[in-house]
């Protein structure tokens, strides 16, 4: 994983928007407000639209120095030169993606509520491990549920830990305090009345947690 990418912050994930101009405008607001990473995820788009939208998001992300990670499809990530891919249990083997993507690509794996899956993902070369859903998710109501203890228990793996699922500015601090490095959010950002304000609210959660650390350990020192 490129060392210049932040290892903490808001990991915005795109909503299912098939209007490409609108999607780009919505993402631009969120990147300008300070999202650290962007995942392109669109369950409403067919393969051609996903290809087109991902290609259009790439220069936008580059302008903001934000890595673009493609959900589900490491081949699409490789084909368009995106910065990485996120794989769940139905999206192929982490080891195959690792071996196929260029060196430095950012590869993430869903580990749901399963520490053993996280160990296996780490051994297969994942750059980050994702747990959740931590709270009821408006986007994925049937997602398996995880508890914050999993974030503590996975610290020893030494990889950035991503939390996902129903995360709001109000419940985010509990996950940050439990060790989440990145908060992956769809509805809490993109369905907020003002997405830029929502981004700032999530980032306040990190600063609040940061200020409780000794000065040498603060990301904002």
Which single residue brings its beta carbon nearest to Mg ion? Answer: 88
Q: Distance between CA atoms of 144 and 133, rounded to whole angstroms?
A: 6
86 binds, among ligand TZP, Mg ion, ligand LCLJCK34, none (CB under 5 to 8 A by kind): ligand LCLJCK34
The token pair that represents 70 in the structure block: 């493609």
Residues 6+ apart with CB under 8 A from 172: 183, 202, 205
User: Which of 86, 137, 161, 188 lies at the binding interface for ligand LCLJCK34 (CB under 6 A)?
Assistant: 86
Q: Distance between CA atoms of 1 and 133, rounded to whole angstroms?
A: 25
Stretch that binds ligand LCLJCK34, among 55-63, 86-94, 193-201, 211-219 (CB under 6 A): 86-94
Terminal C-alpha separation, the chain = 24
CB of 211 to ligand LCLJCK34, least distance (A): 26
- Using CB under 6 A as the binding rule, whether residue 163 contacts ligand TZP is answered as no
Instruction: Specify whether the CB–CB gap between 80 and 48 falls below 8 A.
Output: no
Stretch that binds ligand LCLJCK34, among 2-10, 57-65, 74-82, 83-91 (CB under 6 A): 83-91
Print the binding letters for residues 135-154 with ligand TZP: x by CB under 6 A, - otherwise.
Answer: --xxxx--x-----------
The token pair that represents 195 in the structure block: 């997405």
**Which residues partner with 12 through β-bridges?**
38, 185
CB of 165 to ligand TZP, least distance (A): 3
Stretch that binds ligand TZP, among 48-56, 115-123, 154-162, 181-189 (CB under 6 A): 181-189
132 torsion bin: left (phi>0), alpha (psi -120 to 50), beta (else)? left
Applying CB under 6 A, the site for ligand LCLJCK34 has a residue count of 14
Question: Which of helix, strand or coil describes residue 38?
Answer: strand
Applying CB under 6 A, the site for ligand TZP has a residue count of 15
Sole residue written with tokens 């915005």: 12
**Which residues partner with 38 through β-bridges?**
12, 68
Q: Distance between CA atoms of 197 and 208, rounded to whole angstroms?
A: 16
- For Mg ion, give the closer residue by CB, 90 or 116: 90
Annotated binding site for Mg(2+): 72, 91
Residues near ligand TZP, by CB under 6 A:
132-133, 137-140, 143, 164-167, 185-188
Q: Report the interface residues with ligand LCLJCK34, using CB under 6 A.
A: 11, 39, 41, 71-72, 86, 88, 91, 108, 110, 130, 162, 164, 184
């Amino acid at each position: 994983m490129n060392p210049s990418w932040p290892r903490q912050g808001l990991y915005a994930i795109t909503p299912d928007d098939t209007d490409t101009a609108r999607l780009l405008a919505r993402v631009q607001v969120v990147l300008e407000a300070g999202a650290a990473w962007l995942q392109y995820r669109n369950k409403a788009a067919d393969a051609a639209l996903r290809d087109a939208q991902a290609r259009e998001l790439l220069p936008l992300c580059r302008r903001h120095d934000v890595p673009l990670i493609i959900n589900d499809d490491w081949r699409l990530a490789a084909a368009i030169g995106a910065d990485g891919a996120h794989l769940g249990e139905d999206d192929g083997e982490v080891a195959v993606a690792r071996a196929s993507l260029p060196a430095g690509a950012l590869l993430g794996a869903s580990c749901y509520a399963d520490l053993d899956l996280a160990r296996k993902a780490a051994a297969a070369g994942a750059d980050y491990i994702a747990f959740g859903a931590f709270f009821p998710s408006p986007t994925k109501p049937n997602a398996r549920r995880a508890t914050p203890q999993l974030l503590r228990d996975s610290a020893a793996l030494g990889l950035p830990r991503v939390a996902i699922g129903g995360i709001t500015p109000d419940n985010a601090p509990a996950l940050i305090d439990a060790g989440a490095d990145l908060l992956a959010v769809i509805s809490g950002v993109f369905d907020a009345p003002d997405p830029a304000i929502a981004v700032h609210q999530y980032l306040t959660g990190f600063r609040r947690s940061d200020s409780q650390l000794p000065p040498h350990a603060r990301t904002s020192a």
